[in-house]
Structures are given as C-alpha cells and as structure tokens.
Amino acid sequence: MKKGLGFCLGASSVSVAIVEYNGVGFEVKQSSSVFHQGDPKVIFTRLLEKYYQSDMSVVVTGRKFRSLVALETISEPEATENAFLELIPDHDDFSGIASLGGETFLAYTLDNEGRINNVVAKNQCASGTGEFFLQQIKRMDLTVEETIEIAKDANPYKVSGRCSVFCKSDCTHALNKGTPKSEVAAGLAYMISEKIDELLNKVPKGKILILGGVTRNSVVMNYVRKSHSNIIIPENANSFEAIGAAIYGIKKGIKALSSLENIIIEKSTSFSYHQALQNFAHKVSFKPSKRSKAVSGQRCILGLDVGSTTTKAVVISEENAEILADVYLYTNGNPIAASRECYARLMQQLPDDIKIIGVGTTGSGRQISGIHAMTEGVVNEIVAHATAAVFFDDEVDTLFEIGGQDAKYTYIVNKVPADYAMNEACSAGTGSFIEESAYETLGIKVTEIEAIAMNGMKPPNFSDQCAAFISSDIKTALQEGISKDDIVAGLVYSICLNYVNRVKGNRTIGKKIFMQGGVCYNKAIPIAMAALTGADIIVPPDPGLMGAFGVALVIRERLALGLMDEGQFDLQSLAGREVSYRKPFICYGGKEKCDRRCSVSIIEIEGKKLPFGGACNKYYNLKGEQSFDYDKYDYVKRRHLLTFDVFAPERPLGTNPKRVGINASFHTFTLYPLFYNFFNLLGFDVVMPDEIDSEGIERENTSFCYPAQL
C-alpha cells in the first residue's frame, strides 16, 4: 500500500490530503483545509507533524508560498490535472476546471484527453474572490456559516463589484439606511457569482469542475447554477490540489522524508525596503492656512465639494476670496444629506444676515447637489482643483490629487488644465485604502498614521498592492518581526506607488508640483510621494478644501464676468430643503440613438420632479433648457464617417467579384481607407462584419477594450 501526503499552500489557507494507492486506484483517506491568517509556515508545520508517517511521500503545491519549503513541489495546474484524471469518472465529458481561491479565480480548459491545455484568468483585481468575501463579512461581524444561513433566502442588495473599498462603502451605506444584513450578505454572494459567471463564460461548453474554498459558500454556488447548470463540485473541492500533489508523489515514487528538521526555508525577509520617510521631509513644503472673520451683510460665495467619501464646503468673500467659514465631514453615501449638514454647520460660523450671491458644486456628487441647491454653478473637479492651485501660485504646472476613493493627475499649461488622468476601478492609491488597511489589520486610526509612519526607519515595500490582498502582506511582515512603525510607513509608500504607477504613469512632471486632497493632512503621504518621484512638492493651505475653494473661485469669476446671474441663497432654506425620490426609469436613447439603457433617477424638490443620472448630460441639459447639435460635436462619429464612407467610396465591380474580409479591430480603424482602396481597385469586394460573434468573445483569455473589442 503506497501512501502520499499532499499540501496546497494557498493565499488564505493550507489544505492537506492523505491518499493511498491500493493497486487498482487512488483513495482519499483524509483531507481538510485550515485558514493560515497570513502565517502559512506555522500551519503547514503543525499539519505536517500531525499527519506525516514514515512511509509517506510528501509533495507541496501552491503559488508564492510553496517556495517556503525544502520539499518536492509542483505547480497548481499539474496537481489539479493529476487529481482530475485519477478521481473524476467520465472526465472526457468535461470542458474545463475552475479554481475559485482566496486571491485568484482561474479556469483551465481541457483537451480531448482531459489534460489542461490553457489557463484563463480573471483580471488582477481581487474583487469577488474568497479573501474579498471574508473581508466584507468580517466588517459586518459575521462568520462564513452565519452569512450563508442568513443569505440563503434573502433578496440580494446590489453592491459594487469593482473594488473591496468601494464594496465596503456600498455595504456600510446600505446598513446605515436600515437594509437588513441578510440582504447585504446575499448581495455579496450574488456579486461574486457574477464574477464567476464571467470566468465560466470563457470556458468551452460542457461540464465544468469547480474547485476552491468558494465552493463551500452554497449561496454563491446556487446563484452560479442558475446560469451554469453544468457545474460539478467534487466532494473534496477545497483540498483538490493537495490531493493531486499526494497522487503525484505516489506516481513518481517520491521517497519518504528522513527527518522533519529544516523543512522550512528560512529567508531573512520577504520584502525589499524603502528609505525612511524622515530622510525626505525637507523636499515637501506645507503652506499655512488663513481665515478671516465674516462681517454683517458681507457679500459671499459658497463652494461645495461633494466627494464619494467626504463632503467639504467653504464660504469666501466676493471682494478678495478670503475663506470666512468651512466644513469637512463624511458623505456617508448620501450627498444631499451631507450637503444639508454642511449648510447647517456654516450657519453656525456666519452672521445671520450674510449675503450669499452664488453657489458652486463640484465633486462626484456635484450634479445632484447642484439640483438640490438650485444653482447653475456645477463645475467638474479638474477645473475646480486647478483654479484653486493657480490662485495660490500661478506658476504651478502639475497637480497630484488624492481623495477618499479617487486619485487624479492634472497638468496645467498657461493656468489651464491640459492633461488629466485618474484611477479607474481600483482604490489602492486612495485615502480609503490606507485608512482601511491600517485600522482593520493594525487597529491604527487614520489620525495616528502620520506620527507612526514618520518613525519608521526601514519601511517594507508592499508594492502597489490591492486593498483585498494587503492584509496578508501585513501579517507576513508582523511575523517576520517588522515593527508597526515600519509597516505603516510601508503602507504610506504603497498608496503613493499605486498613484505613480497607475495614475500618473509616464505623464510629465513639471517644474512646480502641488499635492492636494484630504490625504495631505497626513504629512507622511506627500513626503512619500516626494521620495518616490524625486521632486520637490508643495502642499497648499487646506489641501482637503481645494475643490470647494476652487469651485467658489470659479463662481466668483463667472459672476464678475457676467457669465452667471447673481442669486440669493439662504443657508437656512438650503439646510431645510427636503427631497424625495421617485421611481427611476430606463433611458432608451432617443434621437441620440444611445443603447446604454441607463437607469435615470427622479428626485422631487419643492414639488418639482427632476430627472437625474445616466452616463451623459442629457437630463442635466434638459433641466437647464440647453440643447445641442449632437452630430456637429460627435467627432468620433464624424471620423467614423470619413474612414468607412467618404474615403472608402463604393465603385462598380464586375459580376461575381471575389471577396476580401477585413476584421473590425485594431488598425482597421485607422488604415481602412488604405486596405479598402487597395483591394477594391484590384476588383475585390471588401466586406466587414456586421455584428460581434459571441464565440470570439468567449475565446478571450483576458479583458480587451476598444478597438480590440467593440
């Protein structure tokens, strides 16, 4: 009787399996999986001492952690294939295997013999993975078992699947509004099932074997079965790779261990290191803030910056733009409620007879807050931040701006924004990331981060790490004896690394750099940015209020130039103005022939119903009674017409001409006139596809955007 002991060292857990070969086939005698809480070495050693017998071969699989052991190792696909071929009957009927783990979702496609011939990966974001789910339910103080129990019969509440931090915001806001935990938990399960659906759609039709710890979540799997009834979950799904490793050891005749000593490869560290932040403090200049006192009857302008995480408001004087009052508070998922709270708090700082002649709104909630305030002064945050920066220094040419869930880069030429970039669906380079990471893993409040980080002498390099993965890296750092001071400094570097790599990219850094946004109240972050870029950085006065201050400046200028009519805005009326939400409707595009099918909300203010939302400004323009000749300004459409019509004219061809097909992707959108005229003048009929073939999309191994995919 041959015996094998197999281990899989995963991102979140260690699985172990004992397999015996009886001369006819392989039999799994025991298997289990244990969460390692960021310390796989301790759990692995404990399980090895518990289960190892002197007549067993030992083989280890896994991803990054398998390099920690001085034993025979194999890759996860190889382990999976071994277990699949030996344990799954009728394996010829299967077209693929999906592995749903803690940090990665993978699918393996199979050839006619049941062997893996390709690996299809989900994108690099951790959203929707096992570790992502565990983080979300931990925030609701639920265990996996409790979550499954309360979610199984609940209606799912829709939550964001873009990012761990964004999803947390959705869950928090839902719970704050009284949504039951059961519905939020069901929404999480449903969102994860959608991620799995996307992966399974890339596998050819047929039976699909589902593996990994996520299979233990029956709610998720039930949602998946509604769209993929052909999935099969084996009995030992959460330890399948460990079983494959054990089978490999038996088949290859791996010798038993002579000793359990020196099994772990002791590395001095898992990290590279940054220099201490205090070495770069001289490269950042922090400008002091100033305030003036409002006087009775003073003419003022109010600026409101409604962000995804926080809402800020300032009141400035019309005469010299001095800040007379300001408010900084959390949005809590309700921009109108946050706006009203700002108005109420401003009232406490100003004389009763103050005259507010203009209101401007900016930030992600600028449209809805602008509707509530009944103002025309709605300005995008790029213009607002640039205007504020130029007000303080007209030589500034580069803006680094990091907010709660957004990060932006702006390049300014002649006091006007000329280039711009922002983070997409990832929050790893934002304020929420460092706040979440420091508090949830280390128990450090956001107000404590600066002092702790500045004491760090050897910060570990966490790279531009994802919010859902960083906790395991922090645990690894703690186990290696790295101090909390150094870890927090490493987190500060991480947020700036993400910004430099994913937001700024290869864009220009000018001669004078301003860094703005609420994170700059934590002085360690601008210092880390200076360390990484090698540039001197200026942090303007009140960096978190720059958006609100900037939009107030824009409104002040418009009023002075006669581009806006002067108004009368009463803070008490604004603070007390109620809104109600009506049933949303679907926009079917109208004359613009848009096919996005946006859901458009309707809000009612003082008896007037107003449409709000959608991907474009259509309903905002209706509110302002504005109309545009869309064809005149649709330059994409005009370019398309020139490329495929004007410069590719129809010509008479002979009878039954031969055809040449050209795919509608990549350089076709630039060079089609060349291709068309070359073949057409030779007498060929040139054709292009009329629609997208779903089979082609299913063959993708990663996500593409236009013009690779239409």
For residues 487 and 453, the answer to whether their CB atoms sit within 8 Å is no
Which three-class secondary structure state does DSSP give residue 407? strand
pLDDT at 588: 82
Contacts of 656 (CB under 8 A, 6+ apart): none
Instruction: Report DSSP letters for 267-315, one per residue.
Output: -S-S--BPPPGGGGGGGEEEPPP------TT-EEEEEEEE-SSEEEEEE
Compute the distance between CA of residue 362 and CA of residue 189 in angstroms, rounded to an integer: 34
Residue extent(s) of CATH 3.30.420.40 domains in the chain:
1-88+234-266, 121-232, 293-392+547-576, 407-539
pLDDT at 577: 93
When pLDDT is cut at 50, 70 and 90, the band that residue 323 belongs to is very high
pLDDT at 275: 95
pLDDT at 35: 82
Q: Which CATH superfamily is domain 121-232 in?
A: ATPase, nucleotide binding domain (3.30.420.40)
pLDDT(56) > 60: yes
Query: Could you check whether the bond before residue 584 is cis, i.e. omega within 30 degrees of 0?
Result: no
pLDDT at 635: 84
Q: Which CATH number fits domain 407-539: 3.40.190.10, 3.30.420.40, 3.30.1300.10, 3.20.20.70?
A: 3.30.420.40
Compute the distance between CA of residue 360 and CA of residue 375 in angstroms, rounded to an integer: 7
pLDDT at 618: 75
User: Helices (H) and strands (E) in the chain — how many of each?
Assistant: 23, 26
In this prediction, residues 41-54 reach a mean pLDDT of 90
366, two tokens = 């600028």
Burial 52-80 (b: 16+ CB within 10 A, else e): beeebbbbbbbeebbebbebbbbebbebb
58 vs 423: which has the higher pLDDT: 58
pLDDT(161) > 70: no
Q: Is 632 exposed, middle or buried (0-12, 13-18, 19+ CB in 10 A)?
A: exposed
Compute the distance between CA of residue 467 and CA of residue 570 in angstroms, rounded to an integer: 42
| Torsion sign across C-alpha atoms 60, 61, 65, 67 | positive
In this prediction, residues 512-529 reach a mean pLDDT of 94
Contacts of 607 (CB under 8 A, 6+ apart): none
Instruction: For residue 311, report the phi and psi dihedrals to the nearest 5 degrees.
Output: -120, 135
CATH 3.30.420.40 fits 293-392+547-576, yes or no: yes
Kind of pairing between the strands at 377-378 and 599-605: unpaired
In this prediction, residues 546-573 reach a mean pLDDT of 95
Average pLDDT along the chain: 86
> What is the per-residue pLDDT across 29-40, written as a single tens digit (0 to 9) for each?
999 998 877 678
pLDDT at 514: 96
Question: Whose CA is closest to 61, among 212, 244, 238?
Answer: 244
Which three-class secondary structure state does DSSP give residue 402? strand
pLDDT at 393: 93
Which three-class secondary structure state does DSSP give residue 98? strand
pLDDT at 137: 79
Compute the distance between CA of residue 493 and CA of residue 454 in angstroms, rounded to an integer: 11
pLDDT at 127: 59
Percentage with pLDDT > 70 across the chain: 88
pLDDT at 128: 59
Percentage with pLDDT > 90 across the chain: 47
Compute the distance between CA of residue 192 and CA of residue 354 in angstroms, rounded to an integer: 52
Which residues share a beta bridge with 515? 400
For residues 58 and 48, the answer to whether their CB atoms sit within 8 Å is yes
pLDDT at 708: 62
For residues 240 and 33, the answer to whether their CB atoms sit within 8 Å is no
**DSSP for residue 569:** B
pLDDT(441) > 90: no
> What is the per-residue pLDDT across 638-666, written as a single tens digit (0 to 9) for each?
888 999 999 999 998 888 999 999 988 88
When pLDDT is cut at 50, 70 and 90, the band that residue 475 belongs to is confident
Instruction: Give the pTM.
Output: 0.72
566 vs 112: which has the higher pLDDT: 566
In this prediction, residues 199-207 reach a mean pLDDT of 86
pLDDT(69) > 90: no
When pLDDT is cut at 50, 70 and 90, the band that residue 268 belongs to is low
When pLDDT is cut at 50, 70 and 90, the band that residue 199 belongs to is confident
> What is the per-residue pLDDT across 272-311, written as a single tens digit (0 to 9) for each?
899 999 999 999 999 998 899 999 999 999 999 998 778 9
pLDDT(524) > 90: yes
At the second CATH level, the architecture of 1-88+234-266 is 2-Layer Sandwich (3.30)
pLDDT at 625: 57
pLDDT(440) > 90: no
pLDDT at 122: 61
pLDDT at 608: 85
Which three-class secondary structure state does DSSP give residue 475? helix
Which of 148-152, 164-168, 673-677, 702-706 is the least confident region? 702-706
Which of 240-254, 438-452, 607-621, 673-687 is the least confident region? 607-621
In one-letter notation, the amino acid at residue 619 is: Y
pLDDT(172) > 70: no
Compute the distance between CA of residue 199 and CA of residue 113 in angstroms, rounded to an integer: 22
pLDDT at 698: 60
